[in-house]
Structure 1
Amino acid sequence: MSLEGKVAIVTGSGRGLGLAYARELANQGAAVVINDVDAAVAADAVTLIESDGGRAVSVVAPVGSSEVAKHLVETAVAKFGRLDILVTNAGILRDKSLLKMTDEDFDLVINVHLKGTFTCVREAFAHFKENNVAGRIITIGSPTGQRGNFGQTNYAAAKAGIVGMVRTWALEMKKVGVTANTVIPVAATAMTKTVPYFQKAVEAEERGEAMPTFFRKDLGFGTADDVAGLIAFLASDDAAGVTGQVIGAGGDRLQLWTHPEAAATEYHEGGWGYEDLISSFESLFGDKLQPVGEDFPELPAELRPEPVPVK
């Protein structure tokens, strides 16, 4: 077991993707601090890991504040004697289109996803640096943070912000041997269960059946367990040379995302004035404008959701 003797914190790990990450880390030998806002859910996650032969404790608290971040690190050290790995998975959704999104909707999502990642990483890195630990920071992104998605202003901002922080942390942490990466999972969750496009895939998983090939191979959409292996790999000593990267995992697909680069470059002596742009922009850049959102392929007929009967 490549993570034998290591200790990990996984935020938002009472169920779903976070629990899959925690179980895989434990299966590879790490002791795990489970985190959730629901005490019963957290306790069940600990029991499950222990029944698998692993070691786990729970911290019941919402991430976001510096106090909770400190408590998570202190619990790992107090219960297991050290900390080596942090996975910042905790998150919530408050999806609404821009004009319907309230300040509270925005602030809640930013606080958990973005600030929660920031405070937990800051606390973990302080521990790594002080104790000379070549730690592993693994944050969780989303295709929405890469491309945008209708009704997710808050979530897109948080997930894009996480990637920006990771690229910065990779630079700041390199000297002391700590890595920082972002994983973009594409998997069946409580969120995707509500999307008709993924209905047949989620139903197959719930029945304990293999997902249709279209989802796993063509779309790169799978189960939480399909992502967990990447989390464990990035947490291992074998991934010491991987940092500042954004890596997608889903179904049978693994993706290394590019960092933003200029799609086209043009120069104009004296700079680009308003009239210059009016006369030249379309001819120079019109066919190079970048797409937004995700463009899913059409579902095969047999995988389309059942029509909702009209009452």
Structure 2
Amino acid sequence: MAIDLTGLTAVVTGGNNGIGRAMAVGLARAGANVAVWARNAERSADAVAEIAGHGVKAIAVACDVADETAVAAAMDRTVDELGPLGCFVANAGIAEAAPITEMTLETWHRVLRTNLDGTFLCTREAARRFVDQGTGGSMIVVSSTISRYGGAGQAAYAASKTGIVGLGRTLAVELARHRVRCNILIPGWTRTGMNTDLQADERFMKATTGRTPARRWADPEEFHEIATFLADPTMTFHTGNEIVVDGGYTIF
């Protein structure tokens, strides 16, 4: 049975590109009104045009997720324009590769600031809004399969994405009394703009697809239905779960 999210207000951070954009589109296809929080205005405008094409309200909100004041302002604008919050997707993230012997503290802080601090600030703001509304809701925090294995040159990224898993579990436990669910999405290798350099590396693609039982990388569009499932307000007992979408990579 198709999931109906008509009238629900959803926020997707980093919703103008890759998996975030796919999730935003999936929510819109199910009837949700969507706010895209991101920093690239041009890319956000393009995403909002696609989202609105599904007959819903869509807005782009300029927001640095690691800026506490900007996050609060983005939430105020979203609720003012689209109505009470129903689903919050904390997806925004960056990756910077460097061997641990060469990684600077500045790089480490930059990645953790966006990925982990940003997820904390956004989910805290969403939690405050949900609790004040008293109507329950859904949060989705986006981690990565790197939270389950090591990745050469990815110390900062792996640490941030592993931290998000712990944060998501805690949110699920703490907010359950308020009828707020929090689930953790763990995507595997997906063809996004963040990893175009890896997609151009024939040896890397052969190695990763060879280890994936599905024998391919995911396309972002495959996250449309995942987003609607996790946002579905009728799934009132589904919380604290880790949804792994990786073609079998982490169990092979």
TM-score where L is the length of structure 1: 0.73
Corresponding residue for 1:146?
A: 148
AA of the residue aligned to 2:230 = L
Confirm whether residue 101 of structure 1 aligns to residue 97 of structure 2. no
SS at match of 1:237: coil
Taking structure 1 as reference, are residues 55 and 145 closer, same or farther at Cα in structure 2, changes over 3 Å only? same
Taking structure 1 as reference, are residues 98 and 216 closer, same or farther at Cα in structure 2, changes over 3 Å only? closer
Corresponding residue for 1:189?
A: 192
AA of the residue aligned to 2:51 = I
Confirm whether residue 30 of structure 1 aligns to residue 32 of structure 2. yes
Residue by residue over 1:121-169, the C-alpha shift from the partner in whole angstroms, topping out at 9 and shown as x without a partner, is 0011111111112111100011111212111111111011010111111
| d(CA) in 2 for partners of 1:147, 1:93 | 16
Q: Kindly, what percent of the aligned residue pairs are identical?
A: 33
Contact 2:6-2:31 at 8 Å conserved across structures:
yes
Residue by residue over 1:151-201, the C-alpha shift from the partner in whole angstroms, topping out at 9 and shown as x without a partner, is 11111110110101111111101111101111011221123432225658x
Corresponding residue for 1:127?
A: 129
How large is the RMSD of aligned CA atoms in angstroms?
2.2
Confirm whether residue 243 of structure 1 aligns to residue 239 of structure 2. yes
Measured after TM superposition, the shift of residue 41 of structure 1 is: 0.8
Structure 1, unaligned stretches of length 5 or more? 201-211, 256-293, 297-311
| d(CA) in 2 for partners of 1:135, 1:198 | 40
Contact 1:8-1:76 at 8 Å conserved across structures:
no
Contact 1:7-1:84 at 8 Å conserved across structures:
yes
Taking structure 1 as reference, are residues 295 and 32 closer, same or farther at Cα in structure 2, changes over 3 Å only? closer
Taking structure 1 as reference, are residues 198 and 151 closer, same or farther at Cα in structure 2, changes over 3 Å only? closer
Measured after TM superposition, the shift of residue 72 of structure 1 is: 2.2
| d(CA) in 2 for partners of 1:137, 1:79 | 20
Contact 2:137-2:233 at 8 Å conserved across structures:
no
Measured after TM superposition, the shift of residue 63 of structure 1 is: 0.9
Confirm whether residue 222 of structure 1 aligns to residue 218 of structure 2. yes
| d(CA) in 2 for partners of 1:295, 1:3 | 33
AA of the residue aligned to 2:237 = G
Measured after TM superposition, the shift of residue 217 of structure 1 is: 4.9
TM-score where L is the length of structure 2: 0.89
Larger Rg: 1
Measured after TM superposition, the shift of residue 6 of structure 1 is: 0.4
AA of the residue aligned to 2:104 = T
Aligned length: 244
Corresponding residue for 2:49?
A: 47
Contact 2:5-2:232 at 8 Å conserved across structures:
yes
| d(CA) in 2 for partners of 1:220, 1:139 | 24
AA of the residue aligned to 1:176 = H
Aligned positions of 1:1-311 closer than 5 A: 2-186=4-188, 187-195=190-198, 196=201, 197=203, 199=205, 217-219=213-215, 221-250=217-246
Structure 2, unaligned stretches of length 5 or more? none
Measured after TM superposition, the shift of residue 93 of structure 1 is: 1.2
AA of the residue aligned to 2:179 = G
